[in-house]
Structures are given as structure tokens and as C-alpha cells.
Structure 1
Amino acid sequence: MRGEKVLPDFCAALWPEEQTPENLINCSECGLNKHGSRMIWGEGNPDAPIMILLDNPGAREDRENKPFICGTRQTLQQAVHQVGLSVDDLFVTYVLKRKPTRSYDKDKTRQICMNHLNQQLKSKQPQLMVCLGNIAVQSFFQNSEAEVKLLRGKIHMINGLQTTVAYHPLAVRRRPNLWPVFLEDWKLAADHYFHSE
């Protein structure tokens, strides 16, 4: 994006992936297994106090199958680094555990895949949930009309979890004027976490 700050090398890193549970690697319930993308259970620290929810995994490998940092992860890493959080504080997961590559029944698929997220929440019990983008917000808040712009800037209690929301990193990359707002929302998350320790 124009005027984008360069991410320091020490935080532009491939965060470790958490292995998908053996019994779910070949999950075919939602049909995304036919899209040819692999299942991504999550990345970062599996025992982290802060769980980040995105809509679906971005690209992991380039055309030569070499791992790389996609724009979503780069922007996310830049923001969390600037507010004093590290990979040890964070676990990133997704509403859909596979990247869709063609059209699909969005509502039905998200509903099915939320079962995986509920399983993760039960086992991980994070202190704070951060939903990035309207799809993550609508799925987690179970409200198809929920919007980041109306919910950001405060802590909500959702499903028994303290939850905050922010714009999707790709939206921030497309609209650089959102960067200060994105940073503000991450500062709220970091301050809330540091003060609750």
C-alpha cells in the first residue's frame, strides 16, 4: 500500500503453525476440502492468552511452494509489534480453516466451521478474543449485521469471553487511512491484556 511502513525483519516472521488434530486433517463436512487448500488450524503460540480470529487463512506458499509472509500477516505483525505484543502473546485462527478457492455456500460453510472454533475455545480458554474484519465479527458475535465500525473501540463480553474487534488487515492495506485506527484498536487490546495480568 502507498506510504506503507516497512516491517522490521525481526517481526516479519513465519509464526509457527499449530498442527491440525489428526482426526480433522481430512475433514470434509463443509466441502472446502474439494478446493485443494490445506487445513490450517492456527499459528502463533497455542497457549497464548490472546486469540485472534480472521475469516480464513491467506496464502502460505508462493507459486514455487516456498513459505512467505502474506500481506494480512505482515500488517498484523507490524501492528502487534508496535503495541508491544509478541508472538508468545498471540494465537491466530480462522472461521474457515481452509482458504476457499472458488464459490461456496458461505453461510452454511461458516456455520459448520464454527464448530472447530468452539472446540479451540473450549480447550484454549483465551483471556481476550480479537476479531478482525466483518466476517469474523459476524461469525463470532452470531449476528449477520454486526460491523467493525460500530463495535470497535470497546471490550464486549461474547460467549463468556472478553472480545474486541478491529478492521481486517487487508482493508488496512487497501485504505492506509485506516492504519491509525487499526493501531488504536490494537493498543486497546494490548492495554486491556497488560492491565489484566
Structure 2
Amino acid sequence: MTDNQPIALPEEAAPLHAVSCQLCELANQRSRVIWGEGNPEGRIIMLLDNPGAREDREGRAFVCGTRATLQLGAAEAGLDMNDVYVTYVLKCRPVRKYDKETARNRCRAHLLSQLEQKRPKLMICLGNVAVQAFFQDPEAEVKQLRGSWYDIAGLPTTVSYHPLAVRRRPVLMRMFVEDLKRVAARSVEIGGASIVPSGEEQPEKGN
């Protein structure tokens, strides 16, 4: 790991049509819609399953385990988080049981709208939920798909483990960093981005 200290990435305000969304039951349990965070014009989109907490019980901003592990992995991989926008399969943070399949299917319209508006150059799906939702394949798994690039709706896409899985199973960190290095290298290939020095040799190009 590096000495890089994770920070709370700036949150992008949700558009009006999403703020008032009633497409699924999460509308009845959310405190608000969380559209995404990081650089809204970033060439790389990272897709997670759903938002985590951004404030503690006293309302003070803090960096949760998912965000901390993601940023530390990116720093070790030399991936500049200034090139990254983080968003979610679900735009609401669940607080109790809900119909997961229905919520994910209905929230897909918001993700597709985001991609159409932002037109990123690369996508990385983190965790099986994000992979299955974006690939539209309920059997898709990170361990089988990682290491390669896929054309999903015209967007070059790769996959890796969810940062919380990496946090709980440190043995996954090496593979997590490898996958993020692949994204950093591909971003440089397509131009306009730089790899942040990490003191490590950069990997060969991904498939």
C-alpha cells in the first residue's frame, strides 16, 4: 500500500428528473439520490453497486471503507483519480430490504442516461453486482472476466473486485491493483491522461 490519504471526492448533484424518481421502492427509504462523485468530465467511469455513507452520525463528512480502499488501490496503480468519475447501479443508498432485481432493472435507465450525457472513454465495473448489471448477464463473475477488455454498448469495459471485498480479503489487493493499472495504461493509450508515478513498473497492455 502507499502513504496516500484518501479524500472525500466531490459529489455531483443529481438532475431534477432523478431527484424526484419514483421508479422503485427505494424512493420510500432513501434520504436523497446520489448521482455520482469525482470528476464529472472524467474519461474513466467506475461503476459500483450502490452508494455508501458519506457522513457519520454527527453529519461530518468521512471516507468509508469502499472509497478508502478504492483510492488507495488507484494510488498504488498510478491511476489518477482526477480522471475518474464514480457512479452506481443504484442511485439511492438502501437502508433496509428491497426487491434488488426490480430496483437494479429500473435504475438502469439512469445509468444509460449518464453514459449518454458523459460519453466516457473507459468503464471499469467493480464487484459482481456491477458487472452483472452492466453486462446484463446474471451469471457474470469478476473472477472469470477480469484481465480482459469487453465492448459493452460500444464502451471499452473491464472488471475488478469490489473494494469492500478487497478490504475484507487483502489477498485480492494485488489483482485489484493489476486491474486498475490496466485501466491507467489503456487511458494513456487513448490519449489525454497520465499515469501517476507509483514507484512500480507499469504492466503490459491488457487484452
Q: Would you call these one fold, judging by a TM-score over 0.5?
A: yes
Structure 2: 5+ residue stretches without partners: 192-207
Counterpart among 41, 48, 57 of residue 54 in structure 1: 48
Q: Would you say the 8 A contact 1:15–1:87 is kept in 2?
A: no
Counterpart among 6, 11, 15 of residue 17 in structure 1: 11
Counterpart among 126, 129, 135 of residue 123 in structure 2: 129
Q: CA deviation at 1:81?
A: 1.6
Q: CA deviation at 1:22?
A: 1.9
Q: CA deviation at 1:27?
A: 1.2
* SS of the residue 1:62 aligns to: coil
Q: CA deviation at 1:19?
A: 0.7
Superposed CA RMSD in Å reads: 1.1
Structure 1: 5+ residue stretches without partners: none
Counterpart among 57, 60, 80 of residue 63 in structure 1: 57
* SS of the residue 1:52 aligns to: strand
Q: Which consecutive segments of 4 or more residues in structure 1 shift more than 6 A? A: none
Given residue 23 of structure 1, which amino acid in structure 2 is its aligned partner? H
2:168 matched residue in structure 1: 174
Q: Does 1:36 align with 2:18?
A: no
1:79 matched residue in structure 2: 73
The CA distance in 1 between the partners of 2:63 and 2:157, in whole Å, is 26
1:184 and 1:124, CA in 2 relative to 1: closer, same or farther beyond 3 A? same
Q: CA deviation at 1:33?
A: 1.9
Q: Would you say the 8 A contact 1:137–1:148 is kept in 2?
A: yes
Q: Would you say the 8 A contact 2:89–2:107 is kept in 1?
A: yes
Size of the aligned set, in residue pairs, is 191
Q: Does 1:146 align with 2:143?
A: no
Q: Would you say the 8 A contact 2:48–2:162 is kept in 1?
A: yes
Q: Would you say the 8 A contact 1:132–1:165 is kept in 2?
A: yes
* SS of the residue 2:37 aligns to: strand
User: TM-score under structure 1 normalisation?
Assistant: 0.94
Q: Would you say the 8 A contact 1:172–1:178 is kept in 2?
A: yes
2:112 matched residue in structure 1: 118
